[in-house]
Structure 1
Amino acid sequence: MSIAERLKEAREIAGLSQGQVAKRLGMHRPTISEIEAGRRKVAADELDLFAELYDVSVEWIVNGSVKDEAADARMLMAARELSKMSDQDLDRLMNMLRMLRKGEDK
């Protein structure tokens, strides 16, 4: 996966449009589009901005490597969704996960 593809994936996981990203980073939407299409290189200072906005490491953007499992894109998406849930819904989800795990043990 390329830098452009990882930036697009991170944006989508963050639930942001190209326009929203452009506005937050002080860029134009076509610039974000060009970056995600791989037609424009990303400057080092821009990498820092993207990493901060998407809550990922620059290392992940550049190399696709992560220092811990929390940086995995699926884990980030799950964490964001979990943070939006009520305590009651989290308890229900935990019970469902326990039931699923028990089913795997059979």
Structure 2
Amino acid sequence: MSKENTAIREVIASRLRMARESAGLSQGQVAKRLKMHRPTISEIEAGRRRVSGEEIVAFGEAYGVDANWITEGSGDTSEGTDKIMLAARQLSKLNDKDLDRLLGLLQMLRGSEVSNEPE
């Protein structure tokens, strides 16, 4: 396999993993939905297994993302949106005390950004 093909496979694998995490699904849940084995999902996300066009469409439907985004980085979902969705899912899992601490930290960081800006 050429270096270019390896790089493309790794990018697709990364997008599939990001989309799955943003959708809040485990590898096992995806495997069950798509009638695959969990190790197959792991191999795909590691970039060690090729993904067919039909599988990309199925992954896109399962994750709620455009197949073009998975393969080309274009379409309905952008990387920034995915990161925000993933962050929101993780934030929703925090208890009130930890969420308050995190919000305080974010305010502190924003304050230091403002004070470090040239006047």
TM category (shorter chain) comes to 0.5 to 0.7
State TM-score, norm by structure 1: 0.64
**Counterpart residue type for residue 40 of structure 1:** R
User: RMSD across aligned C-alpha pairs, in angstroms?
Assistant: 3.1
User: What SS does structure 1 have at the residue aligned with 2:100?
Assistant: helix
Residues 59 and 105 (structure 1), Cα distance of their counterparts in 2 relative to 1, 3 Å cut: same
**Contact between 1:35 and 1:42, CA under 8 Å: does it hold in 2?**
no
Name the count of aligned residue pairs.
102
For structure 1, the 5+ residue unaligned runs are: none
User: Which residue number in structure 2 is paired with residue 42 of structure 1?
Assistant: 52
**Contact between 1:4 and 1:35, CA under 8 Å: does it hold in 2?**
yes
Tell whether 2:36 aligns with 1:27: yes
State TM-score, norm by structure 2: 0.59
What is the alpha-carbon distance in structure 2 between the residues aligned to residue 27 and residue 53 of structure 1? Answer: 13
Match of 1:70 among 81, 91, 96: 81
**Contact between 2:60 and 2:66, CA under 8 Å: does it hold in 1?**
yes
**Counterpart residue type for residue 113 of structure 2:** E
Larger Rg: 2
Q: What per-residue deviation string (whole Å, max 9, x for no partner) do you get for residues 17-65 of structure 1? A: 3x44212321123543453435333233x33432343344333212123
Q: What is the percent sequence identity of the aligned residues?
A: 51
What is the alpha-carbon distance in structure 2 between the residues aligned to residue 87 and residue 80 of structure 1? Answer: 15
Tell whether 2:54 aligns with 1:59: no
For structure 2, the 5+ residue unaligned runs are: 1-9
